[in-house]
Structure 1
């Protein structure tokens, strides 16, 4: 995470003012006392009232109500008062602002609900002080406010870009060279929030990618902040999104050990507190349906009816009576396809053929238990994608934790409640839909990757091919030389090159035109390709020049090959619009010698030999040995 001074910013950031700023300064002093802080807080009646409200909240454990600011501060602690003052100050200052695409009221409404949710679930899981968690939840997205404040025009355009498909964080990095998570962490650190809270906040949007150790306090905090944010998303979502968002919350709640009833109860408790705090901070907080009503929202939408149905469910229970009851509910009430099994071993065999979307298994069964069945399914590639729900009469945290570690996705307490089963199946159906969408996307990506690989091969071939003659071009020849030279050095085998040039080619162009000149080039290239030996590499070196690389070929064999090529071209008749044209080539031949330091030295030597062949009358081959040139007649 970057420090604030390392982030490129062009303007002033949100910062506390007035009494809140004075409280921050006072809390930095080692001699600060509760009395000093109370005297300062009392100068701002709104802040004093909010501190009393927080000190008397149910999260404080139902202790004796406090009536004085001093007692409230003592109960809350200096650090919590500082953080609350900071958050309340920013809410008061930024009820609106210059960024046209940024909804300031919705931002604070979302932040407030997130703060209340973090406080409730964080204290339930003993992850810290409720008031401190409340303040951190309120500021967990402050980086977005910071970007809207520093870059009002640019950030507004970025938020209003309805055609953008990439995540907000990626667009922020692309256009502003930072993102709201990075800026949030930098601001919280600068304001004195402990790093033990800043790091989970920084990673809360994607806690699974945080790298925190599973079960550690940072990982749990990041998960709770993420869960709270999803609750806040639900609180501000349009009614059409209630079903999908509540199903996603059921999945997340299951990971935190919350069943549908517990989650329903907890979220329904949050909403009145959200409205109370909204009135206190002058932030909008809507009156929402109960969580159960929001979970059932899709059933009222004709276009989505049937979405969670048509699932293949494997039900495993050794108790025939219980199995029949649950099977009847799954099939007749919920409309799913059900396959039943009485033992874990039978279920494993059935699962191979049926490939169910969801497996609902009892925990305690003779032979193979539900936990052992889970291990067996998760050990297979096809079993890793199934959604596993464990039926249990146990209610011990250790056993439930063991089940989740084994790969269980959710659990149901026996006897099964129909409403809870419906909610669990809705969450599972949402998971199956996401998985199927992912499989479709993966198939498309595979197709795109295959098409891209073909395109890349075509592009690579084009980049390495001379378009006129179809021979490899100079770049390909250079690459071939770069491979042949070290191979010859390692094996101490000979390596020779031939540089070939069409004689009087300029005269052909001037006399017959460039179209005929191109025909001559193509004809000579094709003849060289046909006449070359199997392991020889021929490329167009440039203009009317060609290069032939002869691996494991000494000077004598190279000279014989050159003379054969020369005679082949000399005998050619090239049609030039009715009148045949004859042409010839001159060839320079060189072989690798101990004095040569690299492949360029070899080609330069062959170039010198070609130059001597041209000087000596053309249509001949010339060799170079130890710097001495000799041309054949």
Structure 2
């Protein structure tokens, strides 16, 4: 049962739950608004060079091979999107601020090593299963165990005792002990925290269920099922990566069994593990997390074959809830087939002649056939015709091969073992890749009822058995023409998608240009007006203060009249650098026109805003403004105002700041003034 909401709210108000800090907190605040400017978000992100590097690496990890690498924050934001950036900021912030703690028995270093491996594994699985965005899956893997970190933070002494008493009994026993001690488990708490941080329910449910497969109510093959099993697979691989050498073969066996729940066979799982291990080491170096180089997983797979039975493997204390039960072993189906005259089959295929392959085209054909003799002969003629050919002997292998090989044409035996041809076709037609495959089925019966059933299942054509070589070639030629047209359509779609992606990047850049002042690099008046309204709304919701500064360069017209506009522009650029360095990271500065600037100070009372204005004034006064051989002394006048009972909206706040600015100018310039403070002094 999920955690009680009132109980969770009490934990939140205590202030002890792990939470984002610094730049991550600023990013999460910004991304709470759908209309947040990418330029403003990029500006906040650039203040943390470490996060910039992590963000760009994450973006390059999901764009695919052969594409132009991501090199800028703006492009990374466009590729990843706001939800992923928000979750990454959260995950990396927790990683930075909770590397150690007071829970003695909680191994913080091991926790983050496993979590990082889970992140990389979840991303790799998502790239193959396509059930979720790869970047969001990376964040899910990184944050999936946050409930354990939270309990170690909330109850360091008590949780340390629980780990010592129950830690080696597996996650299910640990969760039972947690419920007895804290009235909640780490799975329940972690799921509630992720929901509170805005992660989708699909992800929070997976975090709640993945350590206890018996709780998974979703039907096999559904998105929820695949995401949950992917998380369980990621945890198993993470535990393998940090396990002692002697325990790795046992972990590997459990991992292969767990991978079978996602229809990954052993070679596919080994390939995925080798890729994840390399990425794990790269990310470990970037995040300063221990990630050791792993031996080839083919060696671990071979070693796992020499292990004792599953009961002996469970005796080493490995987590029980992360894989199948010890007695669950994938079944191997053997099908007896009638004898064939190979010489007659070979002669028939040769008599049919080679296929005519269009110039510049190499179609991919998958042959799913249980009879090895027939399968080999069909493959032989297809290879001679210049096709790229793959094979599968049963339905499960054919489904995996179809997803990996992505054939243009599938020649499928309707009576495949394991998964029938009908089940295979229906499964493929539900996937993005499978919808475009031309399917030619072969069956013992090809009468009207059989053809209707096959066509309704998604087959494009049906061929009776025994197979006529000439008919097979003719049907494949027809499928070849359809596949060529389908390929042209897909190429057109890809060009449209590519154009749309480039257009999105261009629009983002145009939007940034439209909202930026070209001279100073600051946001312009249009941007600050929208931003001020957003911050005013946030202040209204939270009842927190908000202040505003209006800044004017003293006697700037004289600079332009005396030295010319070119010198004036140079002075403004140098003043902008000094002001940018003087304001706080959460403050938002913009050029509102000419020599006037506006600063919005969220969560800031009037006294703090006046102090901020004074810091900016002093920074510009001390700055060395140089243009050629000319040295210019520049000062500022600053007007400050804050929200109070007499300031009813954002426009009134700006007008009150402008009144304060006039007060500063009337007082002799080069100073900060606030009419509200003056009025209070007069009343006193």
Taking structure 2 as the reference length, the TM-score comes to 0.46
Taking structure 1 as the reference length, the TM-score comes to 0.49
